[in-house]
Amino acid sequence: MKMNRLFFLLSVTYGFSLLNLSAADPNPLTPKKPVSDEYQGVKVQDDYQWLEKDDDPEVKAWSDAQNQRTRAYIDKLPDREKIARQLTEWYAKTSPSYSELVSRPGILFALKFQPPKQQQMLVTLLSPDNLKSEKMVLDPNVLDAKGTTAIDWFVPSRDGKYVAISISQGGSEDGTLHIYETATGKAQTDSIAHVQYPTAGGSAAWNADGTGIYYTRFPRKGEKPDADLNFYQQVYFHKLGATDTEDAYSIGKEFPRIAEVALESSRDGKYILATVANGDGGDFAHYLLGPDGNWKQLTQFSDQVKSARLGRDNALYLLSRADAPRGKVLRLSLETPELATAAMIVPPGDAVIQHLEPTADALYVSDLLGGPSQIRRFGLDGKGETIVPIPKISAVSEMLAMEDNSLLFRDVSYTEPAAWFHCVAGKAAPVKTALVNTSPVSFADIEVTREFASSKDGTKIPVNIVCKKGTKRDGNNPTLLYGYGGYSISVSPSFDFTRRLWFDRGGVFVVANIRGGGEFGEEWHRAGNLTKKQNVFDDFAASGEYLIKQKYTRPEKLAILGGSNGGLLMGALITQHPDLMHAVVSFVGIYDMLRVELAPNGAFNVTEFGTVKDPEQFKALYAYSPYHHVVDGTKYPSILMMTGANDGRVAPYHSRKMVARLDEANKSGNPILLRTSSSAGHGIGTALSERIKQFADEYSFLFAQLDMRAKK
């Protein structure tokens, strides 16, 4: 569920008066089959629990009927197909995008996305300024002409000779690990199934000489009950050329059922670091495998060490939030790896420390300043702090230490597409590399302002307002408000060229940095999780009210957007503030908070949301659970809910149940639509063609609802 990919929307140009845009075709009959469940002595009736059965023919028929109804509504909107063609044309004009760079001696690995190809490819480069040196390692678009096969992640060996790649199909994120020879792209015989799944993710790390790899492994059928096959993630070792049945257990039997394991090897391969998350609540433990062949636990969940990085100086660098909600950096010698001996080298301050990147002679720290980023450089002892200049109100999404100890970082803003910069110590400013995204449209007329709304309890909430220069505050601007608010995930500046069509129709785009995220550190996160989740909804509602009060917009011209945990946010706003906005787009959302933990990935979210098994947490969950607060006779806004049939993070039934209940209760006449994609999951690994269809549906829906016409 930890996913904050943003979807932003498009337009219609004429003919609104000729269409009945306030109503969809009659709702497919949704039978009620009441079931009563008891939680903490409270009996709760659920009329649509039967819609949870994905494989039930009746459920499939109901879902198909909803899709037909949605298509009948959206396909008749003016310019829907024109929108899709425009998006396809723009994507074809975009430059290649390079992400997730990994450095090895004399070579760079990167994921390359180059529309109109459907999926990212794995390539190598000799340097970030030598695009002519690019070589293909693996192109999933060749493996699968339909574009539904995706690379989940990859890890090169220490010498770069081989690369391990997790590959999955249909947006399922159910990855099989394959080994490829880098120079030739030739697949080796090695194949290990189910090393990656959206419940706990997946990871791998090579040994020192490249003869084998440590990898995350889920139980095989028969090793655990079927209900546990996507839990109890452990670490195994695979020797190249062997079968996976010969692989040796390494560590993990003592990990929690909801452990999520990330592996990293040191530069020389002598150490393997395992970062173990206790579900998605933000607590981590760390284990180190040393040259003696033994694993040693370094930190516990209660130690509040949020991340760790192996340095090149026989040390481990730790990001700790113990008595430091915004973070401090500790240095721990690997010769005496006891947390009590760690030295604080970067003390806590106003900035929220987010990422660490050590080189042989420096430590680079990426900070958050309430959403936007900054980079600081320190000596390995924490002395000699300097600020690395980066663009204003921008976000550093990746940092990479190069072999020569310089730094590459990827920066993006609301008005400038992403670019990789090269930072060399002693030089005045970072320099753009050849790895620069270009946009098919200009944002030169767009400006960004950062203002603050007051939440229900007086907390100041940043709202980032992106619009055309000179936009009047007359209350008539169509405005799209986005939020997330969970898992300590920070919503930072991002660039999306499709917003050009939103702006061209007079639209204002706004991002709210609400609690539950990590924009202001762990206190900001903790103020919006577990029993304090209501603060998240209050913050977002206050942001919408602020935009109305400041005359950026009015309720009839306000739309809201969110997905996954942000979909829960949409559900809460629909049920708590149905009059605040006119339209809602919610994708892969969570709506039934009493049963969410019963799904495989839902169990991982207990540490973030809470459990019905705890009296106080049940009380909080039941108090805001959107599905349980739909009220008969209410005039609800226009709603488009989107889900993927292969979603392993949020069960698609949440959307089915919520739409059924809203349709039953709604008295506004506004459309309440459900769109289910058969070839997608939570959004990761979705083919470009399907993404374009999703965008076209979202944009045409919102532009119709807000009466947004193309400027002549």
Bridge partners, residue 436, by sequence: 419
Per-residue burial over 40-71, b = 16 or more CB atoms within 10 Å of its CB, e = otherwise? eeeeeebbbbbbbeeeeeebeebbebbbebbe
When pLDDT is averaged across residues 683-707 and rounded to a whole number, the result is 88
Of 311, 351, 291, nearest in space to 327 by CA? 351
Distance, CA of 184 to CA of 62 (rounded, Å): 49
Q: Tell whether 46 and 108 lie within a shared domain.
A: no
Question: Which phi and psi angles does 63 have, rounded to 5°?
Answer: -65, -40
Per-residue model confidence (pLDDT) at position 523: 95
Looking at 256, 272, 288, the residue that finishes a domain is: 256
Joined together, the tokens standing for residue 697 give 């549906």
Per-residue model confidence (pLDDT) at position 324: 96
Q: Tell whether 64 and 140 lie within a shared domain.
A: no
Looking at 198, 231, 256, the residue that finishes a domain is: 256
Q: Tell whether 76 and 108 lie within a shared domain.
A: no
- Better-predicted residue by pLDDT, 302 or 686: 302
Q: Tell whether 679 and 594 lie within a shared domain.
A: yes
Residue 535 lies in a domain: yes
Phi-psi region of 344 (alpha: psi -120 to 50; beta: other; left: phi over 0): beta
In terms of residues, how long is the chain?
Answer: 712
**Pairing verdict, β 638-644 and 672-677:** parallel
Statement: residue 2 has pLDDT above 50 = no
Q: Tell whether 78 and 214 lie within a shared domain.
A: no
Bridge partners, residue 641, by sequence: 586, 674
Question: Which tens digits make up the pLDDT trace of 470-487?
Answer: 999 999 999 999 999 999
Q: Tell whether 481 and 604 lie within a shared domain.
A: yes
Per-residue model confidence (pLDDT) at position 428: 75
Question: Which tens digits make up the pLDDT trace of 257-281?
Answer: 999 999 999 999 999 999 999 998 8
Beta strands in 197-342 (DSSP E): 204-206, 212-217, 234-239, 248-251, 259-265, 272-278, 284-289, 295-299, 305-310, 315-320, 328-333
Residue 565 lies in a domain: yes
Bridge partners, residue 432, by sequence: 421
Per-residue model confidence (pLDDT) at position 681: 63
Distance, C-alpha 558 to centroid of its chain: 24
Statement: residue 525 has pLDDT above 60 = yes
Looking at 239, 256, 273, the residue that finishes a domain is: 256
Question: Which phi and psi angles does 518 have, rounded to 5°?
Answer: -115, 15
Statement: residue 9 has pLDDT above 90 = no
Helix (H, G, I), strand (E, B) or coil at 240: coil
Q: Tell whether 85 and 100 lie within a shared domain.
A: no
Question: Which tens digits make up the pLDDT trace of 607-664?
Answer: 999 999 999 999 999 999 999 999 999 999 999 999 986 666 778 899 999 999 999 9
Q: Tell whether 506 and 561 lie within a shared domain.
A: yes
Question: Which tens digits make up the pLDDT trace of 431-440?
Answer: 999 999 999 9
Domain tally for the chain? 2
Joined together, the tokens standing for residue 184 give 């030739």
Q: Tell whether 73 and 124 lie within a shared domain.
A: no
**Pairing verdict, β 272-278 and 259-265:** antiparallel
Residue 392 lies in a domain: no
Question: Which phi and psi angles does 232 have, rounded to 5°?
Answer: 55, 50
Identify the burial level of 19 via C-beta atoms within 10 angstroms of its C-beta, where 0-12 means exposed, 13-18 middle and 19 or more buried: middle
Sheet containing strand 212-217, edge to edge, reads 204-206, 212-217, 234-239, 248-251
Per-residue model confidence (pLDDT) at position 599: 83
Tell me which DSSP letter residue 627 carries.
G
Bridge partners, residue 307, by sequence: 319
Of 16, 11, 6, nearest in space to 504 by CA? 11
Residue 418 lies in a domain: no
Q: Tell whether 537 and 664 lie within a shared domain.
A: yes
Share of the chain above pLDDT 90, in %: 85
Q: Tell whether 140 and 73 lie within a shared domain.
A: no
Per-residue model confidence (pLDDT) at position 392: 84
127: domain CATH number? Answer: 2.130.10.120
Distance, CA of 466 to CA of 448 (rounded, Å): 5
Q: What average pLDDT is seen over the chain?
A: 92
Share of the chain above pLDDT 70, in %: 95
- Better-predicted residue by pLDDT, 333 or 393: 333
Helix (H, G, I), strand (E, B) or coil at 66: helix
Structural domain that includes position 154: 95-256
Classify the C-alpha dihedral 546-551-557-563 as positive or negative: negative
DSSP H or E stretch at residue 664: helix 653-665
CA angle (317 as vertex; 314, 318 as ends), nearest 5: 145
The residue to which tokens 């055309």 are assigned: 468
Residue 621 lies in a domain: yes
What is 97-162 written as a DSSP string? Answer: EEEEEEEETTEEEEEEE-TTSSS-EEEEESSTT-GGG-EEEE-HHHH-TTS-EEEEEEEE-TTSSE
Distance, CA of 363 to CA of 385 (rounded, Å): 10
Joined together, the tokens standing for residue 379 give 């000596």
Statement: residue 8 has pLDDT above 60 = no
55: domain CATH number? Answer: 3.40.50.1820
Question: Which tens digits make up the pLDDT trace of 496-520?
Answer: 999 999 999 999 999 999 999 999 9
Residue 413 lies in a domain: no
Per-residue model confidence (pLDDT) at position 506: 95
Bridge partners, residue 310, by sequence: 316
The residue to which tokens 């996913």 are assigned: 3
Tell me which DSSP letter residue 233 carries.
-
Residue 156 lies in a domain: yes
Whole-model pTM: value is 0.86
Give the pLDDT band (50/70/90) at residue 23. low
What is 462-502 written as a DSSP string? Answer: EEEEEEETT---SS---EEEE----TT--------TTHHHH
Residue type (1 letter), 324: A
When pLDDT is averaged across residues 36-54 and rounded to a whole number, the result is 96
Classify the C-alpha dihedral 600-606-609-611 as positive or negative: positive
Per-residue model confidence (pLDDT) at position 602: 83
Question: Which tens digits make up the pLDDT trace of 160-172?
Answer: 999 999 999 988 8
- Better-predicted residue by pLDDT, 1 or 321: 321
Helix (H, G, I), strand (E, B) or coil at 407: strand
Residue 108 lies in a domain: yes
Q: Tell whether 27 and 148 lie within a shared domain.
A: no
Per-residue model confidence (pLDDT) at position 498: 94
Distance, CA of 475 to CA of 138 (rounded, Å): 51
Per-residue model confidence (pLDDT) at position 14: 25
Distance, CA of 78 to CA of 699 (rounded, Å): 11
Distance, CA of 33 to CA of 26 (rounded, Å): 21
